[in-house]
A and B are shown apart, each in its own frame.
Chain A
Amino acid sequence: MAPFRFLEEVALADAAFEATGDTLSDLFEAAAQAVIETLVNPVTITPTCRKTIERRAPDLPSLLFDWLSDIVYLKDAEGLLFKDATVAVQPDQSDGSWVLRATLAGEPIDPTRHELRADVKAVTKHLFEVRQDGRCWVARVVLDI
């Protein structure tokens, strides 16, 4: 399971988390898992469909912000919740931008089977951070509930 922990002291009325990863791809998977688990207990999700996401951004914080926002968007726009994500993050040497290719595995929302949690309104920029701590990547994210 990808490592993340919720930060209680950061957002009283909302949900904040810190995700970590040995690689950027791991970090982006862990952060996605935190968003997924804010919305639903993933144990109750049986993946019946896959969504492929491709994103490009000028910097890592923007790429992570857009990626996590995609999960929130798909929940409302396509009525999908996910069990987990597989992510590859790479730099584009030609222009210095960052590229994400990801697959989300999930299924349409079914309140009779899914253990639903909190409806995330948005990924916020409050205290939003992506940093390298030694050999580990760390991200801090606050979600508006």
Chain B
Amino acid sequence: MKLSTTMTVNRISDEVWEIPVSEKPGMVVPARIYATEQILTSMDSGVFEQVTNVACLPGIRRYALCMPDGHWGYGFPIGGVAAFDQREGVISPGGVGYDINCGMRLIRTNLTVEDVKPRLEPLMTELFRKVPAGVGSTGFVRVNRQEFEEVMRKGARWCVARGYGWQQDLERIEEHGCIPDADPSKISDQAVKRGINQLGTLGSGNHYLEVQVASQERIFDRETAAKLGITGHDQIVVMVHCGSRGFGHQVASDYLKVFEKAMKRYGISVKDQQLACAPFRSPEGQDYFAAMNCAANSAFANRQVITHQIREAFSSVFSHPAEALGMEIVYDVAHNIAKVERYEEGDLVVHRKGSTRAFGPNRPELPDCYKETGQPVICGGSMETGSYLLVGTDRAMHETFGSTMHGSGRTMSRAQAKRSVRGEQLKKDMAQRGIIVKAVSMSGLAEEAGFAYKNIADVVETVDRAGITRKVAELRPIGNIKG
């Protein structure tokens, strides 16, 4: 087996690999990577270097983990999971990422592909008009500083109170769309100015809004799918991938600076400047946690305002209220966040960066409707290949701090993707395959071509076989909006 690292990587099972603590000075726990042999051999050297750097952080418990969609990131690898003791451990912005609470939302409908195909073009045009995307885009919601602080505190609850959503939406969002312990006094003026006009916007890069189809033959567990509102029969669903926009990016940048100084004070040294961290219980650690929660809540609010706009667009194109179209949220889940969660060791600070919470059945955090199934997990693939709906398992609770994959993971640079295909050509090719694309940036579109990513089916198969999530349905795109 040829790997991109010279470190010893031991096979624990067909889908789990371990790098022992002897491989790098300072490792406190072993590192574990979830991957098939084929995926492991395709991983870049940054994954091995970074996951073992994480394993050196103070107060880390059990393992530093990386999911099969893992690749090089800043500090933590993308796909990284690490849990820290509250008293002895740290919190690190590098373990969350710049896009705080970047996450996925899935909305079901009772429309079929037969209903939608004849009006797909006007639908995509209306969605593109109502959900701004691209560099520096601004939304229709205008708030003053005081109202924006309410968004920071209340997240999606603020939106529902303002009429941008339904009461029942809230139970189908992680943390009911409102994480407690958010403190706007820990937010800089710069962060407010970067984010105050961006509620209800997608951003760019790999963020998107997609109209997808759930076909009967691509449902792997019909009983669970039905409980999640996915009936198949060429059912139309809508998937949203975005985060906290400029607001969250600025919070992350602000606190990386704070932590660089704090590390000296607390005598912490790290292997990589982007792993800057502070003791969780320190004033700096608590300030970042409170600020990060503000950004996380703003991301829930962002996806909630987008949901409102999606419902309006469908309602206007199909001349029925969104309620009559059955446009319920299936679930909304973060994949860039740090949270305090209870495990066998007690309350731990779990960092997920490019990794999705995947709680198994009967966790108290889950709404009643998903207590039996386990938490829905939404994993976005490339815009050409499709995405997956999965559910969390008991095994994830014991092995991965209730965490799993988040997407497919890039394998090609943005520049190489742009050299391989032109955005205009890709748009035409996709149209021929029945996928309508609306993009703000043609070069941005080319950068997100399907061939620039791992095959998501292989990644999903890995977490399914490893037992840390169960696959429920594959969702194929027919319309895509990109920044």
Contact = CB atoms under 8 A, between A and B. Distances in A.
Contact of B195 (A13, A69, A76, A124): A76
Interface string B314-334: 000000000000000000000
Contacts of A6: 415
A130 B440 CA distance: 34
B154 interface: no
Interface stretch (A46-54, A92-100, A113-121): A113-121
A73 B194 CA distance: 7
Interface in B136-158: 136-138
A76 B99 CA distance: 14
B256 A125 contact: yes
Given A77-B246, A144-B98, A12 B72 contact: yes
A136 interface: no
A64 to B, nearest CB: 14
Nearest to B441: A116
Interface residues of B, number: 47
Contacts, number: 113
B136 A79 contact: yes
B253 interface: yes
Contacts of B205: 118-119, 121, 145
Q: DSSP class of A's interface residues: helix, strand, loop or mixed?
A: loop
A121 to B, nearest CB: 4
B413 interface: yes
Contacts of B203: 119
Most buried by B among A14, A75, A81, A115: A14
Nearest to A80: B136
A2 interface: no
A76 B194 contact: yes
Contact of A119 (B138, B204, B273): B204
Contact of A125 (B194, B274, B440): B274
Most buried by A among B193, B204, B249, B413: B413
A25 B444 CA distance: 31
B161 interface: no
Given A69-B253, A73-B194, A116-B444, A109 B273 contact: no
A13 B205 CA distance: 9
Contacts of A119: 134-136, 203-205, 483
A128 B135 CA distance: 24
The 9 closest A-B pairs by CB, nearest first: A76-B246, A119-B204, A77-B193, A76-B194, A121-B249, A8-B413, A116-B135, A121-B98, A119-B135
Given A69-B253, A117-B135, A119-B135, 4 more contacts: A77-B194, A116-B444, A119-B203, A126-B274
25 contacts: A8-B415, A8-B416, A11-B72, A13-B410, A72-B249, A73-B193, A76-B193, A76-B198, A77-B246, A81-B135, A81-B136, A116-B440, A116-B444, A117-B443, A117-B444, A118-B205, A118-B414, A118-B441, A118-B447, A119-B134, A119-B135, A126-B74, A126-B75, A145-B205, A145-B414
